[in-house]
Chain A
């Protein structure tokens, strides 16, 4: 009940006032600056449905590079004790590239569109119908993103095709096997503090609400999550993100219907000469 209240308050705030586009769970159409490098460490935690009371963790180190004003690359890896493992171990690696192909900028306002492609290798067996390249699956993904930002509010819509590369159900779980799906998201953000900027040292506080969905296209399974998050930006270069995902609807077999997320990232501007 308390959780529902929290979510509705957050949704209300976001819908009424309108944030920013540095989403916690997804990407905006904007890129990181050219010649900048961002280092990020994320952790996802959940209680998987197949244990009575066990918490599992995934650690995801990531490096983002601004190749040019239009192209950015991301390389990431993951370590976890998920997929029936006793302890933490290396499980996956991922490459991601984003190309911003449209930009209409005005003062305190922009509309941008980008295309992205990603590929991942994962050590894990195929167990779930939820498909993702965050560590669960070996696969490929490609899609488009559009972001509209007006003053302190930003909204992004994204849609992509995702395909996992396992050929068969090695664990013989007897569940319908899925190879592909459409991932989509609607993400909104609002800049709450500071009300007005006077210095780069002011801490920035952003609220986010994202809707994250997947529709398996080869079997009739799907899910839709709501993901509220808060973000603090220190000295205009270090970000701390805290978020949660709750399943709103769906019938897909997943590791867990709720998960929590924390990440810390730092921007090194003009890191590349």
Chain B
């Protein structure tokens, strides 16, 4: 019986691991396919990306992450900026497993520290879409709006004790 419980526990840890599946990135500042193509090709150079599907009309990109790869959201942003544009929105589809989140508190998900803003305390399960609201991940106006929801110094610097903190909302 003990052994079975142990196996169930191990399996749940194994399968229940949170995971970043995909992201929808909307870029701003562009209207032509040439610009969109520049971002598209720039994103594709990232090693943790499996596939990019571009929606040219809405200047947005559906990004599928490689399974088990270390995802770096800052690098996504940098690739868009290198192409000459800005990130207007970055939504990440994440599979959660019993992750308790509290408003204005940090939680570690898949090795990344997420600080949730403007949410109700809850336990997340299954696929959820989270939106990064850090500086340069949203328009300036939007960033200012979210700064009203926290006093955390990390919202200004993006860091706490040398660790990258992503500020997110649901």
Q: Is the CB of B32 within 8 A of A103?
A: no
B contact face: mostly helix, strand, loop, or mixed: mixed
Q: Is the CB of B84 within 8 A of A33?
A: yes
Residue interface bits A47-82, CB-to-B below 8 A is 1, else 0: 000000000000000000010110000000000000
Q: For chain B residues 29-44, which have a beta carbon within 8 Å of chain A? A: 29-34, 36-38, 40-42
Choose from B29, B40, B56 the contact partner of A105 (Cβ within 8 Å).
B29
Q: Is the CB of B82 within 8 A of A106?
A: no
Shortest C-beta distance, A105 to chain B (Å), equals 3
Q: For the side of the interface on A, what is the size category?
A: 35 or more
A contact face: mostly helix, strand, loop, or mixed: loop
In Å, the complex CA distance between A252 and B85 comes to 40
A residues near B16, Cβ cutoff 8 Å:
none
Q: In this complex, which of A196, A200, A239 has the most chain B Cβ atoms within 10 angstroms of its Cβ?
A: A200
Shortest C-beta distance, B104 to chain A (Å), equals 28
Check B81 for interface membership: any CB of A closer than 8 A. yes
B residues near A267, Cβ cutoff 8 Å:
34, 38
A residues near B26, Cβ cutoff 8 Å:
107
B residues near A100, Cβ cutoff 8 Å:
84
With A152-B31, A197-B33, A233-B32 already in contact, the answer to whether A33 and B38 are too (CB < 8 A) is: yes
Number of interface residues of B (CB under 8 A): 29
Residue interface bits A100-119, CB-to-B below 8 A is 1, else 0: 10010111111010000000
Count A-B pairs with CB separation below 8 Å: 96
Q: Is the CB of A200 within 8 A of B54?
A: yes
Q: For chain A residues 148-173, which have a beta carbon within 8 Å of chain B? A: 149, 151-152
In Å, the complex CA distance between A198 and B55 comes to 7
In Å, the complex CA distance between A237 and B30 comes to 15
Q: Is the CB of B28 within 8 A of A105?
A: yes
Q: Is the CB of A269 within 8 A of B42?
A: yes
Choose from B45, B56, B58, B88 the contact partner of A199 (Cβ within 8 Å).
B56
Check B83 for interface membership: any CB of A closer than 8 A. yes
In Å, the complex CA distance between A267 and B34 comes to 9
Interface residue ranges, A against B (CB under 8 Å) = 20, 22, 30-36, 66, 68-69, 100, 103, 105-110, 112, 149, 151-152, 191, 196-200, 202, 204, 233, 236-237, 239, 267, 269-270
Interface residue ranges, B against A (CB under 8 Å) = 26-34, 36-38, 40-42, 45, 54, 56-59, 81-86, 88, 139
